[in-house]
Amino acid sequence: MKKMIPFFVFTLLCFVGCGKSSNESVNQNKNSSDVKDEIVVDSEFLIYLKNLKEKLLKLNINPSQIEKINNVSLILHKNDSSNEVNSFSRDSSKDILGVCKKNTLNNEVTSRKIFIDRSKWELLDEEKRLNLIAHELGHCAWNLKHLDTNNQIMSPHVTDLSENEWAYFAQQIKESNS
């Protein structure tokens, strides 16, 4: 696995399918500030995060909203039977590319991690990689849910996106209460 690096820069993830967010509770006897995980981002994601941040700024997203991604780890995960991505899927028949996992303690989120399946990531073109990262960050950074419509960033299945779809995503972020 490529070297994981701390994520300290403002930066900002679906094409075939997305795993639903997973929430796991942590030992209730601990203080939530004691169990917060270190934020890490696989170096391969950095250029996409930079491009996404720039795109969202052009769409007039408030920088304080963009900063929320600083609390999310992005991990390119190997493809094997114990894969984190597949283990979070509620439907193993779906072709899952990524998943947002949130751990909580005393109703406070202690960690937000996005796992991307490496073998599927390698098959995506540049645009679909950006769409996937935007989608998963929609779940993890802004608590957005899947949409019932097709061809939106927060749809479970996304193909090519127009500027209108990006504008709608920006509106969802602006209206989020995360």
Structure tokens at 109: 């989120």
Question: Percentage of residues in the chain with pLDDT exceeding 70?
Answer: 70
Closest residue by Cα to residue 173 from 101, 22, 66, 100 = 66
pLDDT above 80 (res 170): yes
pLDDT given for residue 178 in this prediction: 61
Kind of pairing between the strands at 73-77 and 98-105: unpaired
For helices 126-140 and 163-175, what crossing angle results, to 10°? Answer: 20
Half-sphere exposure of 89 (CA within 13 A, CB side): 21
Q: Dump pLDDT digits (tens) for 61-114.
A: 999 999 999 899 999 987 655 555 555 555 554 678 999 999 999 988 899 999
